[in-house]
């Protein structure tokens, strides 16, 4: 079986078809009856290769990375329970244990959602859009113009020179 060439120093086959191998390097390998293969390394890390092409890596620092072959996506769980998803499109999502989330889209737009319900979007042109917990929308443009849209229908424009224009829901302005 080429065991010597592969550095296999011990091999055992179980009645259920499972094969366990120990390599000279100290790596242990288990091949299950369904074809799934698990490799365990002397440093405590391990890798599981599933028959559908998925791969699960467990690192010494307690990170766990799962690769989904069908969608070409990665899901990494960090020891603090922060989860990072990387998609083949280039989109990256980070989910924080406290409920916050940050998404970086392929066009480099960044969307942050806070546990409080507040949202922030940062666009590639420098425009920042925020939605506060009370539903107020605030847009800050690269040129310094700031627009505020309140839940009651009031709209404010604050110009870079400090001039303020307010439009009220009844149509009056200030």
Q: What is the pLDDT of residues 112-159, one digit of tens each?
A: 999 888 999 999 999 999 999 899 999 999 999 999 999 999 999 999
pLDDT attached to residue 7: 87
2 pLDDT higher than 50? no
pLDDT attached to residue 163: 93
1 pLDDT higher than 80? no
Name the range with the highest mean pLDDT among 9-18, 54-63, 112-121. Answer: 54-63
Helix (H) or strand (E) holding 156: strand 155-158
74-102 exposure pattern, b = at least 16 Cβ within 10 A, e = fewer? bbbbbeeeeebbbeeeeebbbbbeeeeeb
Q: What is the pLDDT of residues 80-102, one digit of tens each?
A: 999 999 999 999 999 999 999 99
User: Exposed, middle or buried, 21 (CB in 10 Å: 0-12/13-18/19+)?
Assistant: buried
The pTM of the whole model exceeds 0.85: no
pLDDT attached to residue 6: 64
H and E: helices and strands count for the chain: 1, 18
41 pLDDT higher than 70? yes
How many whole angstroms separate alpha carbon 39 and alpha carbon 105?
Answer: 34
Beta bridge partners of 142: none
pLDDT, mean over the chain: 93
């Amino acid at each position: 079986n080429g065991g010597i060439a592969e550095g296999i120093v011990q091999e055992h086959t179980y009645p259920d078809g499972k094969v366990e191998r120990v390599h000279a390097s100290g790596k242990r390998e288990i091949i299950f009856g369904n074809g799934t293969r698990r490799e365990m390394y002397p440093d405590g890390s391990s890798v599981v290769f599933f028959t559908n092409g998925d791969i699960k890596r467990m690192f010494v620092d307690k990170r766990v990375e799962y690769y989904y072959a069908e969608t070409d996506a990665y899901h990494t769980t960090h020891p603090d329970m922060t989860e990072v998803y990387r998609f083949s499109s280039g989109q990256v999502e980070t989910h924080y244990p406290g409920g916050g989330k940050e998404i970086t889209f392929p066009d480099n737009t960044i969307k942050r959602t806070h546990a409080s319900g507040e949202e922030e979007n940062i666009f590639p042109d420098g425009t920042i859009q925020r939605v506060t917990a009370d539903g107020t929308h605030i847009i800050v443009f690269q040129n310094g113009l700031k627009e505020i849209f309140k839940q009651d229908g009031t709209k404010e424009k604050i110009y870079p020179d400090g001039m303020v224009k307010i439009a009220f829901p009844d149509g009056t302005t200030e």
